[in-house]
Amino acid sequence: VCLYWFTSIAMVFLNKYLLDSPSLRLDAPLFVTFFQCAMTAALCLGLSLGAACGPPCPSLPSLRLDPKVSRSVLPLSAVFIGMVTSNNLCLKHVGVAFYNVGRSLTTVFNVLLSYLLLKQTTSLYALLACGVIIGGFWLGVDQEGAEGTLSWTGIFFGILASLCVSLNAIYTKKVLPVVDGSIWRLTFYNNVNACVLFFPLMMLLGEFRTLYHFDKLGSPSFWGMMTLGGVFGFAIGYVTGLQIKFTSPLTHNVSGTAKACAQTVLAVIYFEEAKSFLWWTSNLMVLGGSFAYTWVKGLEMRKVQEDPNVKNGERNETGV
């Protein structure tokens, strides 16, 4: 849990520096995201080759690029690009302290998309928790506007990031059989596809021109920070899996909620920001609603496991 907290919080602060630091002045968010995807693909391949040379490791299967599999994973890769890009663009345009609230609608989209795409219904208590999250989100937007720090661009990308995170979870379940259920293979193909798809996007938005005129392109410290960002981008997926493996999915959700709270407090202290009572209330509403939703779904799942007579449809209902 501590490793997950450290990796996740460090990655957010590091990405904020790379995306929006006044000292760096690099306006190339797609390039930063592309580099992290390339690092993740390279690390997956490197670890796989290392495992092949040493003792057999079932969790690190051998990796090779199969064009047929790559095409099958492509729809998920498009969603994945939307997710990582909108996450980074949201972070670029909003403060780290508001970042959690700005992309807090993931749970709401989970419920909505599960109903629209999977025909799964949600209990009243879970819907009430979603209502609290939406209320906290709107209060947070209102308070950011009152303080003069609101970025509608950041809000747009935060909502888009929430939608893409939900779609990514749904598409991942559909695509996993293509890679024999291996998260490692899926991560590898996803990031390789993303690297290819980012090239025309960077060209279209003129980021190659931006990089050409970037005064720190030959700086070892800049590339050191970029490499560190790539390592943390790879590590977050691994430590998330570790946290779920050694605790439980429910504990992981609770840990993520608590981590978001700690991250917000650290950001306010680090950037020396002064926030109003209502601003803090919006954060508490988002965190409280997320925790309540996790708790309700946990109780429902436990009830399903303990009751052998639960119908199939009811089992699906608790799987949102």
Task: Say whether pLDDT at 311 is over 60.
Answer: no
pLDDT tens digit string along 168-190? 888 888 888 888 888 888 889 99
Residue 57 has pLDDT above 60, yes or no: no
Percent of the chain surpassing pLDDT 70 = 92
The stretch 225-245 carries a mean pLDDT of 88
Q: Please state the domain extents for the chain.
A: 1-55+62-307
| Banded pLDDT at 243 (limits 50, 70, 90) | confident
Distance CA 283, CA 139 (A): 9
What pLDDT, on the 0 to 100 scale, is given for residue 320?
37
Tokens of 27: 């306006």
Give the model's confidence band at 253: pLDDT under 50 very low, under 70 low, under 90 confident, else very high: confident
- In whole angstroms, what is the distance from residue 308 CA to residue 47 CA? 42
Kindly state the average pLDDT of the residues 214-240: 91
Which of 59 and 122 is assigned the larger pLDDT? 122
Q: Where is pLDDT greater, at 34 or 256? A: 34
Q: What percent of the chain has a predicted confidence (pLDDT) above 90?
A: 57
Using CA atoms, how far apart are residues 116 and 167, in angstroms rounded to an integer?
12
What's the pLDDT band for 287 if we cut at 50, 70, 90?
very high
Statement: residue 116 has pLDDT above 90: no
pLDDT for the residue numbered 277 = 94
Whether the pLDDT of residue 318 is over 60: the answer is: no
d(CA 164, CA 76): 10
CB 296 within 8 A of CB 129: yes
- Kindly report each contact of residues 155-158 with a partner whose C-beta sits within 8 Å and lies 24 or more positions away, as own/partner: 155/94, 155/102, 157/86, 157/87, 157/89, 157/90, 157/93, 158/86, 158/90, 158/94, 158/99, 158/102, 158/103, 158/104, 158/105
Answer whether residue 309 shows pLDDT above 70.
Answer: no
Whether 316 has a pLDDT exceeding 60, the answer reads: no
pLDDT score for 181: 83
pLDDT at 274: 87
Q: Is the pLDDT of residue 235 over 50?
A: yes
Residues 6 or more apart whose Cβ sits within 8 Å of residue 269:
none
The answer to whether 130 touches 293, Cβ cutoff 8 Å, is yes
pLDDT average, residue stretch 249-253 = 74
Residue 310 has pLDDT above 70, yes or no: no
pLDDT at 37 over 90: yes
pLDDT, the chain, mean: 87
Which tens digits make up the pLDDT trace of 89-114? 999 999 999 999 999 999 999 899 88
Q: Is the pLDDT of residue 222 over 90?
A: yes
Determine the Cα–Cα distance for residues 206 and 262; give it in Å rounded to an integer. Answer: 37
